[in-house]
Amino acid sequence: MSTTGEKPVVLSLEGATIQFGGLIAVNNATFELQQGDLFGLIGPNGAGKTTCFNLITGVYKPTSGTIRFQGKEIGGLTPAKIAQMGICRTFQNIRLFPALSVVENVVVGAFLRHRTTLGSAFAYLPSSIRETSALKKEAMDLLEVMDLADVAQARSADLPYGKQRRLEIARAMATRPDLILLDEPAAGMNPQEKEDLQVTVRRIRDDFQKTVLLIEHDMRFVMGLCERIFVLDHGEEIAQGPPEKIRNDPKVIEAYLGEAV
Amino acid sequence: MKFWLVRLASLLLAVGFAFGLESVVGHQFPSIYRLVVLAGLYITLSVSLNLINGITGQFSIGHAAFYMVGAYSAGFVSKALFSHQPLVPQLWMIVMALFGACCAALTGLVVGLPSLRLRGDYLAIVTLGFGEILRIVTQNIGAIGGAYGMNVKPFGSPPQALWLVWLLAILCVAVCRNLLKTAHGLPFLSVREDEVASAAMGVKVPKTKVTAFVVGSAFAGAAGALLAHAETFISPDTFKMDVSFIILTMVVLGGTGSITGSVISAIALFAIPEWLRNLQDPVTKDPIQIPGPALVASIISVVIAVALFKAVQNRFHGSKPAKFGLYLAAIAAGFVCKLAFTPILAQAPGLAAKSFEASALRMVIFAATLIILMLIRPQGIFAHHEFSWSWVAKLFRRAPKEATA
Ligand SMILES: Nc1ncnc2c1ncn2[C@@H]1O[C@H](COP(=O)(O)OP(=O)(O)OP(=O)(O)O)[C@@H](O)[C@H]1O
Ligand SMILES: [Mg+2]
């Protein structure tokens, strides 16, 4: 495993590029996340941020370039395989399992660590019952942390918006990923909820030792939270570095049309 | 220890129930023996299709094809081999059920693997087409009876298959229920809910879909094998597209995803047409006649009642008891209309003279019942719910709880 400085590299993109017909949605993206980074990915609408996530999580196969996770090439693997290797994500347009209860949603995430066979479930053997209650317990603990324990039995579709976003994070955390990708986790939240979310994201990094890559439009949110930021515009990198540098970068200011950054 | 005792008790209960049913129906009601056998098979078929369509969210509409594969493979082998082997008929039927299940599972794998890996509803087209191709090919293979059908009479006398059929139904229900009770059921449900999110959580989506499809097909195959032995005669016409659609209707009507719903609607949808077929006057034993004016008045009033019911459902947002009262009022309005319209329509000279035999109208009544149910309860009778003892207990406990509140 290569290291820069002191911490090991978790994720590295080298010239990752994807083209949809004539449109180059992400061009030559090159960046690196180290263990324990809180890394921001920003850019105007349609810049290619979500597409970047889709490349990393295997929804799309890069047209060229390499994506490495903990030293292993993952470009083109299936999403399920990548999730099992330790990358999990949330979605910009919340994608919960609406008819399932809150705790069931989280158990789906935890299920990738199951040990018993499907046959033992068909036969309702004690091993599969024990495993089920262990996974449920684990899910309940996570819900406790995410402050969702009181709605554990509710249908996930019935939750208010902010809680749905938090549930998506809890579900991703349940897979016990090393790297967690959050696609606009604060979208649609009120200022109070955003502040709580910042605390939660910090806890995910500090208490749970995850590396976090997040997309966010709210500049105050990103600048206050992330230690390093990568800026995309029309699929191209326009800046990369710590928040102070990004805030004063002329290209970034131009891309955001003078919006206070 | 307690766990295994409960397990043993429920196993004994299931076997006891199956044999009890066999002896009660066999001795007391021999005239409906065949119907009870078929009802048991339909339970297996609808619950197994529910695993594919309701629980895993795929859209298979040719379930009869796997029923047919099981019936023909087991029937053919039984005919050829039974006389050369030492098993008693009962054990032989179990072996044949397993064999039919394996053949259908393999067929399911071949049909499902390519179509389930693709997105969209390819499965619907493929399963429907496969069923028809299979039927037409069978019609043209002389060795298995062609269009005339095949006699399956390995044993001298017709076998006692009812207990086995119902054991299979219980097994199918138990397997699906067990799946949903453990965490292993969740990936199946999550695939139904959102494939992309499932994959992002590490669920192997294609494998999950194919597994559900193969297991569902296997149960249909086992049911087919038992059908071949119970009926001692099968023909391609036994497995027409109608059968697939009836099974599909059972699943949708019961509430996709609800095992309880599938069981109940399988019995109901199988029993209603049979009951209508045999409708006769209890005294004279003549087929029941429905006079023309009454029939037309009924149609009009049913339409009115359903329209009122829908209106209450969509427009009224008051308390539950009030809504329930309005539902009853809508149904009562239908009855009043029927009473009011019948004498008026009797004035119409052409209509008054006509009358219709109830049994001839049975498919019409059947279809109308389905349409009405789908109109007023599109999520199916049971929606996503399941029967459970705690639910029953809650019903009984509710009254005192409200009294204290
Ligand atoms: N599957 C696809 N096929 C074709 N074009 C696509 C596809 N996915 C994304 N694009 C295009 O790629 C570009 C980048 O989209 P992307 O969703 O990554 O933007 P984004 O940075 O996440 O924007 P937003 O802030 O609005 O979420 C857009 O122009 C989009 O239309
Ligand atoms: Mg986006």
User: Among candidates A87, A222, A98, A89, which has minimal Cα distance to A164?
Assistant: A98
- Taking the C-alpha atoms of residue A258 and residue A256, their distance in angstroms, rounded to an integer, is 6
User: What confidence tier does A227 reach under pLDDT thresholds 50, 70, 90?
Assistant: very high
How many angstroms is it from A234 CA to the middle of ligand 1? Answer: 10
Task: Tell whether B193 is within 8 A of chain A (Cβ).
Answer: yes
pLDDT digits (tens, 9 = 90+) for B274-319: 877 777 666 777 777 888 888 888 889 999 999 998 888 888 888 8
- For ligand 1, say whether the CB of A27 is within 6 Å of any of its atoms: no
Neighbours of ion ligand 2 (CB under 5 A): A 50, 92
pLDDT of residue A257: 60
Q: Kindly list the residues from chain A whose CB atom is less than 8 angstroms away from the CB atom of residue B3.
A: 126
Question: The pTM is what?
Answer: 0.89
In this complex, how many residue pairs, one in chain A and one in chain B, have their CB atoms less than 8 Å apart? 107
Ligand index nearest the alpha carbon of residue A23: 1
Ligand index nearest the alpha carbon of residue A235: 1
Average pLDDT over residues B318-329: 87
Evaluate whether A240 touches A29 at the Cβ level (below 8 Å).
Answer: no
CB atoms within 10 A of CB A171: 30
Residue B335 has pLDDT above 70, yes or no: yes
CB atoms within 10 A of CB B338: 18
User: Where in chain A are the domains?
Assistant: 1-86+177-261, 94-176
What ipTM was assigned to the predicted interfaces of this complex?
Answer: 0.92
Task: For chain B, list the domains and their CATH numbers.
Answer: 2-277 (1.10.3470), 289-395 (no CATH)
Q: Kindly list the residues from chain B whose CB atom is less than 8 angstroms away from the CB atom of residue A112.
A: 201-203
- Stated as kind and residue range, the H or E segment containing B295 is helix B292-315
Q: What CATH code would you report for A1-86+177-261?
A: 3.40.50.300
Residue closest via CA to ligand 1's atom 1 equals: A20
Instruction: With CB atoms and an 8 Å threshold, state whether A122 touches B175.
Output: yes
Same fold, A1-86+177-261 and A94-176: yes
- Stated as kind and residue range, the H or E segment containing B151 is strand B150-151
Instruction: With CB atoms and an 8 Å threshold, state whether B384 touches A135.
Output: no
User: Among candidates A193, A215, A183, A214, which has minimal Cα distance to A90?
Assistant: A183
Interface probe, candidates B182, B189, B203, B385, chain A, greatest A C-beta count within 10 A: B182
B window 255-284, beta carbon within 8 A of A: 257
In CATH terms, the fold of domain A94-176 is: Rossmann fold (3.40.50)
CB atoms within 10 A of CB B249: 19
User: What confidence tier does B402 reach under pLDDT thresholds 50, 70, 90?
Assistant: very low
Choose among A98, A109, A118: nearest Cβ to B211: A118
| Bridge partners, A64 (sequence order) | A17
pLDDT digits (tens, 9 = 90+) for A90-118: 999 999 999 999 999 999 999 999 999 99
Eight-state DSSP code of residue B156: S
* N-to-C CA span, chain B: 40
Average pLDDT over residues B38-59: 94
Eight-state DSSP code of residue B362: H
Residue closest via CA to ligand 1's atom 22 equals: A50
Average pLDDT over residues A181-203: 91
